[in-house]
């Protein structure tokens, strides 16, 4: 008897029957890698610290049935350009808007995971006309806990300094509740990113946001979070290592129009561990304005 195929083979297996395009765009002078698929309302996906668009490998095809999906590598990440400057939240949000401009997207739904959620929220607060609805997916460390910042900084730097299989695998496994779901492909892709010339400097520029002195100018705070007008879904999990439901409660108080949905049995990457629940939540909230079931 033949061995059954796994649920996930690769991003290309997921997209095998979906028309899509991979391209590089000039986003205000930054060469930026983009993947686009589907048609319908625009939905832009933003990955987390040290990540790349393959973080959404298990979701793009499903989302493309209802949305024109754009996933991209943020400046200083993935296979986008690595200019030598601090990648603070405002810089990353400006890059997001430049990507949208390059693709002629006037306004879009945003779905951001971890750092991507922080960037999406900053953009929504400062450029409300560009954001329709928003999903903040395990945005992480809303309370600015020093121990969470240190763990993020140290584990990421260790993997970039030594992009071997064990160190990079440990960094990726940190994101998962079910660590057995971490694939060799995902680890190898990230090893390739971390091995890029200049990436050590780039990740140092990203991790400035884990420095409390720099972070204080961009930290989650009701003063700016309260300016978000886009209806927002907080997508949390039961096992997020970066922040619990107490932090979700803080955002519910600060955001003018927000609701919370918790995906069980998942860690920091529900889009990978629970893609069905992730897709349903996006369809319910972004398409129909309903609280996810």
> Pairing relation of β-strands 30-37 and 68-72?
antiparallel
Residue 141 clears pLDDT 90, i.e. is over it: no
Q: What pLDDT score does 96 carry?
A: 98
- Closest CA relative to residue 241, chosen from 138, 112, 160: 138
Tens-digit pLDDT profile for residues 257-281: 999 999 999 999 999 999 999 999 9
pLDDT at 71: 98
pLDDT (0 to 100) of residue 154? 92
Long-range Cβ pairs for the range 186-192 (8 Å, 24+): 186/54, 186/57, 189/52, 189/54, 190/50, 190/52, 190/159, 190/163, 191/163, 191/164, 191/165
- CA separation for the pair 207, 12 (Å, rounded): 30
Domain residue ranges in the chain: 11-147+219-288
Question: What integer pLDDT is reported at residue 4 of this predicted model?
Answer: 83
Q: If you average pLDDT over residues 203-209, what whole number do you get?
A: 96
**Region 123-150: what's the mean pLDDT?**
94
Task: Give the CATH number of domain 11-147+219-288; options: 3.10.20.600, 3.40.50.1820, 3.40.50.10860, 3.40.50.300.
Answer: 3.40.50.1820
Residue 210 predicted with pLDDT over 80: yes
Q: pLDDT for 6-38, tens place per residue?
A: 888 888 899 999 999 999 999 999 999 999 999
Six token digits for residue 101: 């401009």
pLDDT of residue 1: 61
Q: b/e per residue, 230-246, with b = 16+ CB within 10 A?
A: bbbbbbbbebbbbbeee
pLDDT of residue 7: 85
pLDDT band of 144, cuts 50, 70, 90? confident
The H or E element spanning position 132 is: strand 131-137
216-235 mean pLDDT:
97
Mean pLDDT over 228-241 rounds to 96
Looking at residue 155, the DSSP 8-state letter turns out to be: H
Are the C-beta atoms of residues 282 and 63 closer than 8 Å to each other? yes
Burial class (CB in 10 A: 0-12, 13-18, 19+), 115: buried
Beta-carbon-side half-sphere exposure of residue 102 (alpha carbons within 13 Å): 21
Q: What percent of the chain has pLDDT over 70?
A: 99
pLDDT score of 105 more than 70: yes
Write down the pLDDT at residue 11.
Answer: 87
Mean pLDDT over each residue of the chain, to the nearest integer: 95
């Amino acid at each position: 008897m033949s061995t059954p195929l796994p649920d996930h083979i690769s991003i290309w297996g997921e997209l095998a029957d979906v028309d899509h395009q991979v391209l590089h765009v000039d986003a205000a002078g930054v060469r930026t890698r983009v993947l686009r698929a589907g048609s319908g309302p625009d939905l832009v996906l933003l990955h987390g610290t040290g990540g790349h668009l393959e973080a959404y490998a298990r979701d793009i095809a499903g989302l493309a049935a209802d949305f024109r999906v754009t996933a991209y590598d943020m400046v200083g990440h993935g296979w986008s350009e690595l200019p030598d400057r601090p990648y603070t939240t405002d810089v990353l949000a400006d890059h997001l808007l430049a990507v949208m401009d390059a693709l002629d997207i006037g306004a879009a739904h945003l779905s951001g995971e971890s750092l991507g959620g922080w960037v999406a929220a900053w953009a929504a607060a400062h450029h409300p006309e560009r954001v329709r609805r928003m999903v903040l997916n395990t945005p992480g460390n809303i309370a600015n806990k020093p121990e969470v910042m240190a763990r993020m900084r140290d584990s990421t730097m260790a993997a970039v300094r030594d992009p071997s299989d064990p160190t990079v695998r440990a960094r990726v496994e940190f994101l998962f509740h079910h660590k057995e779901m971490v694939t060799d492909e995902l680890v190898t892709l990230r090893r390739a990113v971390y091995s890029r010339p200049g990436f050590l400097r780039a990740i140092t520029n990203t991790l400035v946001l884990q420095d409390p002195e720099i972070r204080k100018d961009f930290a989650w705070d009701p003063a700016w979070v309260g300016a978000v007008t886009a209806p927002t879904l907080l997508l949390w999990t039961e096992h997020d290592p970066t922040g619990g439901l107490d932090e979700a409660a803080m955002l519910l108080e600060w955001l003018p129009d927000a609701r919370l949905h918790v995906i069980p049995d998942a860690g920091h990457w529900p889009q990978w561990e629970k893609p069905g629940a992730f897709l349903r939540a996006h369809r319910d909230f972004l398409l129909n304005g309903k609280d996810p079931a």
